[in-house]
Amino acid sequence: DVGVHASRTTFIAGNSAIGAARKAKDKILAVAAAKSGHAAEALELGGGCVVTKAGGERVFEVSKLIRSLHFSAKADLVMTTNYYEPPSTHQDKQFKGDVSAAYAWATQVCEIEVDTRTGIVRLLKVTGAHDVGRVLNRLGIEGQIEGGIVMGQGYALTEDLMVEESRVKNPNFRDYKLVTAPEIPEMDVSFIETRDGEGPQGAKGVGEAPAICIAAAVANAIYNATGVRMTSLPFTPERVYRALHGAAQPLVWNVPQ
């Protein structure tokens, strides 16, 4: 396909693998038919064996059948390739179309704490629900969504890329604050399985959704907590302080003695 990007790895590679597997299955059944005298259409795979569709009678063990091909003519080797291009409708002049074969959906709730004396915002907990089509690898998808939440946390609260006259003014991680382990919030994530029709085994991409939701949820949480609407990212202590106390107010840090 055109590349590994935009939450398409499992979707594209999974469908490609399924397509290749179906071709391999057809080749295995064709070889089994030639060796057994059965029609290929009358055979099926099940339980690691080639079996008859009608009665489930075992004809060959797949492992032994494949191994026998290794020592026979190379024409009998089961080798397949498959190309998968997801169906899509390109945008027209009115920018209307259907450019993706599947769409991800998610909702997230952020619980925060705002220090009105300093403008510091702490992200305490993120509760999320993600429509993932189908969970194929639970540990992997949990890690991906947790990583996306942390990425969104940095985008919302700390990561401020300052560019002036085409030059990056904060070229190191001292001036460009990345979220580290002590700042990561508690996370409670649920998966909604909808068995997407186009996805491999019903799965679909999940990469963008956890990162997209956080900034908006944090902005709404700040508004809910303080009554102040923040409209410029990231919500740094200085920006939050000025929004709370007025842009003309000097920064006054009430540090306890």
Distance CA 218, CA 126 (A): 10
Distance CA 50, CA 28 (A): 9
Q: What are phi and psi of 179, to 5 degrees?
A: -70, 135
Whether 241 and 169 have beta carbons less than 8 Å apart is answered as no
Angle between helices 9-36 and 62-70 (to 10 degrees): 80
Query: If you compute the radius of gyration of the chain from its CA atoms, what whole number of angstroms results?
Result: 27
The active-site residue, picked from 44, 111, 208, 238, is: 208
* Residue 198 a catalytic site member: no
Active-site residue numbers? 208
